[in-house]
A = this chain, B = another copy of it.
Amino acid sequence: MIAALDVVGNPSSVHSEGRAAKMLVERARAQVAALVGCKTTQVIFTSSATEAAALAVAQKARHGGVFMALPTEHDCLGVWSEITPDPNAITDAGLVAISAANSETGILGAAGKVVGSTAQYSTICDITQLAGKMPVVYGDITPSYAILSAHKIGGPKGVGALVNFTADDPEPILRGGGQEMNRRSGTENLIGIAGFGAAAEAAGRDVAAGKWDEVAQFRNILEKTIAAASDQTIFVGKAAPRLPNTSCILTPGWKGETQVMQMDLAGFAISAGSACSSGKVKASKVLQAMGFDDIAAASAIRVSLGLETTLEDVQRFATAWAMKFEKHQMRAA
């Protein structure tokens, strides 16, 4: 990215500065395609997974006209859902959002909740959380589209991609200069795209090398240590297949936001729900959809570990959390 700061050309210009910029973009496209397992031409760079979601949903007319997302989907998909979340009605939808891993709990295949055969409808697969942590495979699903973002795989914020597996170019929602082969206009975020590509390559290498296996062990130690300090605490999806680095922790009666603030004072950045929704004080729709009551859902924190997280970090976290929890109990008593 620092090298890209010095590339002054516009990737759509034909002079040599322009071509140098174009090369950076195309290298990044190949790097992202390799991570996702698609052809380079199928990668359309966007400003976020959110924009990629809006672009995919805008194609619904080609897929029967009605879009549906379960309440466990991220808001960037959920907000467009036209069908009230009744799992039995899902087959009325032409285009359905299916996340590969849930953004709040890390549970794989919320897709599992979708009834009927996916052959009955087209799918947008949200691989934002999964990509860069596990191999990107689609299982039973043959997605029409996949969406992801750079900052979830170690890249910069403000860049994402739509992967278009269909034979047709999507109808653009941003129109004008005709960039991205007329599929998404707007001068390319050169620095962000360069960072996205580099992050994709590094993330693919790390996944292949099994680097997240140790992270999963640390996450499990974290949960075990916390469980020893609090028998009221629930680890959402502990028994289910889930991402290696995510722990969604419920301690009913102790508000998630309070925990975020207290752990922040102790030097740890965690969130209540996904970061996008954490600024807002409302209980997680995801947890409510999973059957947790309001008090349990409002107590959720999401702890994400990275490849740099050490066992010592995990132990310091668990110790700090346990101390804060003890104080909470004393206040509550």
Contact = CB atoms under 8 A, between A and B. Distances in A.
Interface of A: 1-2, 5, 9-10, 12-18, 46-51, 53-54, 74-80, 149, 151, 156-160, 173-179, 185-193, 257, 260-261, 263-264, 268-271, 274-280
Contact of A269 (B12, B13, B177, B275): B13
Contacts of A50: 174-177, 185-187
A14 B278 contact: yes
Given A174-B54, A269-B13, A269-B17, A179 B260 contact: no
Nearest to A13: B275
Residue from A10, A158, A185 with most neighbouring chain B CB atoms (10 Å):
A158
B269 A192 contact: no
A43 B78 CA distance: 26
Contact of A187 (B77, B151, B175, B191): B151
A53 B176 contact: yes
Contacts of A177: 50, 74-76, 274-277
Nearest to A175: B79
Contacts of A13: 269, 271, 275, 278-279
B16 A269 contact: yes
A10 B173 CA distance: 26
A217 B264 CA distance: 56
Given A76-B176, A78-B176, A177-B274, 8 more contacts: A10-B276, A13-B278, A14-B261, A51-B186, A74-B177, A158-B189, A158-B192, A159-B189
A176 B261 contact: no
Contact of A191 (B18, B48, B51, B156): B156
A276 B178 CA distance: 7
A301 B44 CA distance: 30
30 contacts: A1-B191, A5-B156, A10-B151, A10-B276, A12-B275, A12-B278, A15-B263, A15-B264, A16-B269, A46-B47, A47-B47, A47-B186, A48-B185, A49-B186, A50-B174, A50-B176, A54-B174, A54-B175, A74-B176, A75-B185, A76-B186, A77-B176, A149-B187, A158-B188, A158-B190, A158-B192, A159-B189, A177-B277, A179-B276, A189-B192
Given A75-B176, A176-B79, A48 B275 contact: no
B5 A187 contact: no
Nearest to A279: B12
Contacts of A53: 176
Contacts of A78: 176
A77 B2 CA distance: 32
A246 to B, nearest CB: 15
